[in-house]
Amino acid sequence: MLIKTIFAGFGGQGVMSMGLNLAQAAMLEGKNVTYLPSYGAEVRGGTANCTVAVSDEEIASPVASSPDFIIAMNQPSLVRFQNQIQSGGVLFINSSLIEAEISRGDIDIVRVPANSIAEKLGSPRSANMVMMGAFTKKSNIVSVSSVIEGLKSALKDKQKLIAINEKALMAGYDLL
C-alpha cells in the first residue's frame, strides 16, 4: 500500500520536521519511504510543505498530486491543498488557527487545536508534535513507538527536548 501525506504550514511551524518524523519512523519499520521538501522562490517567509510517501513496495513518484492525508497547520495551507486530497482521504486541521468551513463531503476531517493544547502543556512551540500525535493515531501508517524512537534519534541526546516533544505527541495521540 502506498500512502502519501502532505504536511503544510508557515515556515516556523515545524512542518518539515513533522514530515521527517514520519519518514524516520517508517524507515525504522523497514518500509520504503520518500521525503520531498518543497521550496521555491516564492517561499521566502511564506508557507512551507513537504510530502512523505510510505509504501511496502518501490515508490514510483515522491510527489503527491492526490495525497491520502493532508495536515494543514494554517489557513493558507488549507486553501492551497484542500482540493488535492483524494476522496476518502483525511484532512487534519489545526483548529487553533483555522476557522474555515470545509465544503468537501467526500473526505474525513480531523480538527486538532494544536496550538492551544501545546500552550496548555507549557510548550507553545510543540504544536506540531500535538498534531503529529493525532495524525499518527488516525492515519495508522506507523506505530507511535516508532515515531517516538525516530524523535529520539533525530534529537540525539537533547533529553529535555525529547521529553517535551514526547509529551506533546502523546497529548495529540490521546486526543482521538
Partner 1 sequence: MSGNSTIGEAAIRAGCQCYFGYPITPQNELTEYMAAHLGRKKGCSFIQAESEIAAINMVYGASLVGARAMTSSSSPGISLKQEGISYLAACELPAVIVNMSRGGPGLGSISASQSDYFQATRGGGHGDYRTIVLAPSSGQELADLTHRAFDLADKYQIPVIILGDGMLGQMMEPVEFKHEAPEELPIRGNALRGAKGRPSRIIKTFTSKPTELEEINWSLFRRYQLIRKEETAFETFLVEDAKLIVVAFGIAARIAKGAIKNARTNGMRVGMLRPVTLWPFPSEKVKELAKRTRHFLVFEMNMGQMIEDVQLALEGKGEVSFYGRPGGVIPTPSEVLRVVSRLYHQKGLESGK
Partner 2 sequence: MSSGKTGSKIKGYIEIDQELCKGCQICIAFCPKDVISLSDKLNSSGYLPVLFNDSGECTGCAICAVVCPEVAIEVYRG
Partner 3 sequence: MRKVYTRPRLLKRVPFHYCPGCGHSVVHRVMTELIDEMNLGDRIIGIPPPGCSVFAYHYFDVDMAESAHGRGAAVATGIKRAFPEAIVFTYQGDGDLAAIGTAETIHAANRGERITAIFINNAVYGMTGGQMAPTTLSDQVTTTTPYGRDTKIEGYPIRMSEIVALIRGAVYIERTAVNSPANIRKTKKAIRKAFQAQIDDLGFSLVEILSPCPTNWRMTPLESWQWIDKVMTKEFPLGVIKDITGKNDAD
Give the residues lining the site for partner 1 (CB under 8 A).
20, 23, 27, 32-37, 40-42, 57-63, 65
Q: Which of partner 2, partner 3, partner 1, none does residue 10 bind (CB under 5 to 8 Å by kind)?
A: partner 2
Smallest Cα–Cα separation from 5: which of 52, 59, 65, 62?
52
Smallest Cα–Cα separation from 49: which of 60, 61, 37?
37
Q: Using CB under 8 A as the criterion, what x/- string covers residues 25-44 for binding partner 3?
A: ----------------xx-x
Whether the CB-CB separation of 95 and 113 falls below 8 Å is answered with yes
Q: Which residues pair with 50 in a beta bridge?
A: 7, 37
Phi-psi region of 135 (alpha: psi -120 to 50; beta: other; left: phi over 0): alpha
Of the candidate spans 69-77, 102-110, 118-126, 146-154, the one that interacts with partner 2 by CB under 8 A turns out to be 69-77
Cell numbers representing residue 133 in the block:
500525535
Q: Under rule CB under 8 A, which residues in 73-132 are in contact with partner 2?
A: 74-76, 97
Residues that bind partner 3 (CB under 8 A): 41-42, 44-46
Residues that bind partner 2 (CB under 8 A): 10, 45-47, 74-76, 97
